Amino acid sequence: MQKNSSSYEEGDMVILELPFTNMVGKKLRPVVVLSSSELNLVSADLIVAKISSSEHLPDFEVEITSSDIEEGKLKKTSYIHCHSIFTVEKI
């Protein structure tokens, strides 16, 4: 679902272009919105955590499956990377 810049809510899963950690290049990635819905109404930025189907640091990740989401689906079990937080400008 397309969202306008003021309609992001905490917990939304969206696709954003994120930089690689070495800052050389970027890639479209699924993310979960962490910033509160109230903050998202007044801020030009979103705070997000990367979602990946790869498990890297199990102690710092939250497993999610299609049964955990209200809308859409995941192709396979994925992980919210709590160690990979980004602040991104809304478009």
pLDDT band at 21 (very low <50, low <70, confident <90, very high): confident
5 lies in some domain: no
Please state the rounded mean pLDDT for residues 47-61. 93
Does a structural domain hold residue 36? yes
Residue 2 has pLDDT above 50, yes or no: no
Which range of residues forms the domain containing residue 41? 13-89
CATH code at position 54: 2.30.30.110
Whether pTM exceeds 0.85: no
Q: Is residue 73 part of a domain?
A: yes
Confidence of residue 6 (pLDDT cuts 50, 70, 90): low
Three-state secondary structure readout of the chain: CCCCCCCCCCCCEEEEEEECCCCCCEEEEEEEECCCHHHHHHCCEEEEEEEECCCCCHHHEEEECHHHCCCCCCCCCEEEEEEEEEEEECC
- Report the share of the chain in percent with pLDDT over 70: 93
Instruction: Report the domain count for the chain.
Output: 1
